Chains A and B, each alone.
Chain A
């Protein structure tokens, strides 16, 4: 048990370091403008990569996932509140599951 606690603390440390080091060290560094530009694109690339194709397999049935995702996309396109977009996605999956599966 105490060994397992040490393991968890070590896992915490190796999780924390990649989060903390760039934040503290890059913050006040003068970065070349291509590097800055690169870092500006990171959020969009990360988001796209998080969404696709993972979303297809986020629930039991792929068709339900597609309906849920489409609901969210439509709501997001019209700039609904984020909570509504999330609820809409969940509802889309739930209803599709109820009807077809």
Chain B
């Protein structure tokens, strides 16, 4: 493949700026969701300060929406906290994976800062980069722009109390999924094991969704599918073909 380097992936002298740029699709996808979150929470008379604080300190879409629902339903706070924890266990797998891509010299402070911004979406963008080693400031750039978009969107929902026109808002529901496609498809052209892995994951996820007569939350579906798929992957492809990284 002559065009081996996608334009976003060229190593630049300013990884932070590159990170901000790489995070733009996440930001675009987050704004309408965050606006919807602000609007919804406000419509249930959740205090404004609480809504804004949620986006500042939690920064996890699904948890925040579910949190609002549970608060409204009058669920005990400790139950809400446990639900949130379980919902976010999947990030455990993601940061474990990401930790192996950061350079050895990354400080604990940087790691602690960087991990705050890891979401399904920012993780997807970071880990889909072709470089084996990711600059911490690059990842922080991605996470920061996503965080800003999430919070600006929340403010807009709470204080402007208006969303995008309905037809556009509906179409934008596909935005983050389209981004996931954009991240995944190019890597399918790279190696056969990845194609097999993705196929297995899709089958497992579809079985969990349609065949198993049990309702799994999205969080659990990701956890189960990822653990099963990656385990099968290790069994099928124990060694990297050709070159040896590191």
Contacts and interface: CB of A to CB of B under 8 A. Distances in A.
B91 interface: yes
A42 B97 contact: yes
Interface in B97-121: 97-100, 102, 104, 106, 108, 111-112, 114-116, 118, 120
Nearest to B132: A40
Contact of A81 (B8, B88, B106, B124): B8
A24 B115 contact: yes
Contacts, number: 292
B162 interface: no
A27 B106 contact: yes
A85 B173 contact: no
Contact of B95 (A23, A44, A83): A23
B10 interface: no
Given A26-B96, A45-B230, A97-B170, A7 B81 contact: yes
B120 A24 contact: no
A76 B180 CA distance: 10
Q: Interface size class for chain B?
A: 35 or more
B44 interface: no
A86 B168 CA distance: 13
Give the size range of A's interface with the partner. 35 or more
A39 B116 contact: no
B198 interface: yes
Given A51-B177, A51-B181, A86-B29, A41 B77 contact: no
A8 interface: yes
B24 interface: yes
Contact of A65 (B81, B85, B174): B174
A79 B6 contact: yes
Contacts of B240: 37
20 contacts: A5-B53, A11-B67, A14-B88, A22-B99, A23-B96, A39-B96, A42-B93, A42-B226, A43-B123, A43-B124, A45-B200, A45-B229, A50-B180, A51-B184, A51-B202, A65-B174, A69-B174, A72-B174, A89-B177, A89-B181
